[in-house]
Each structure stands twice: as structure tokens, then as C-alpha cells.
């Protein structure tokens, strides 16, 4: 089984941790700024990360078949 990484992205703010860590960070961050937060999942060696959830002030919505974002853009502090 390949190792998985998770990212939480809100505008220019990015956080990388496990899924529960990203959800906990998102719960705190959404209180400060109501801009929706995307949760992305990637595996080691894969060129893209997939959006798996969106956190808003009202709820957490899990997404199947979400859009993909380059992992290079996530790690190089480029706009995702």
C-alpha cells in the first residue's frame, strides 16, 4: 500500500498532515475565515492530488471524483 498525504488549502494557506489533522486544521481555520477549504489526497510518486472534501462554515462535504491539482504546485507554494 502506497503512503498517502493530505493537504488542506484555503486561498494561499496550505497545511499538510494526515486526514484527521487536515480536518482539525480546517475546523479551526474556517472560524477565522469563511472561505471554503479544499482537502486533497495524493499518493507517493503521483503527479496529481485529488480533491476529496470541502469544508465550509456550514458543513464538511466529501467529494467523489473531485478535480485534480498538480502536487508540484502544492509543494512549491504555487497557487493551487
* Per-residue pLDDT of the chain in tens (80 residues, 90 and over written 9): 568 999 999 999 999 999 999 999 999 999 999 999 999 999 988 999 999 999 999 999 999 999 999 988 877 665 54
Residue 79 lies in a domain: no
**65: domain range?**
4-69
List all residues 6 or more positions away from 44 whose beta carbon is below 8 Å from its beta carbon. 2, 3, 4, 5
Residue 74 lies in a domain: no
* CA 68/CA 55 separation, integer angstroms: 17
Q: What pTM was computed for the model? A: 0.87
Report the number of distinct structural domains present in the chain. Answer: 1
Residue 54 lies in a domain: yes
Residue 76 lies in a domain: no
Amino acid at each position: 500500500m502506497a503512503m498517502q498525504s493530505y493537504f488542506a488549502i484555503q486561498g494561499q494557506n496550505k497545511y499538510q498532515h494526515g486526514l484527521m489533522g487536515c480536518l482539525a486544521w480546517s475546523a479551526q481555520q474556517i472560524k477565522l475565515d469563511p472561505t471554503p477549504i479544499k482537502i486533497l489526497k495524493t499518493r507517493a510518486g503521483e503527479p496529481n492530488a485529488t480533491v476529496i472534501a470541502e469544508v465550509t462554515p456550514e458543513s464538511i462535504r466529501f467529494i467523489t471524483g473531485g478535480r485534480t491539482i498538480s502536487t508540484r504546485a502544492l509543494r512549491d507554494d504555487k497557487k493551487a
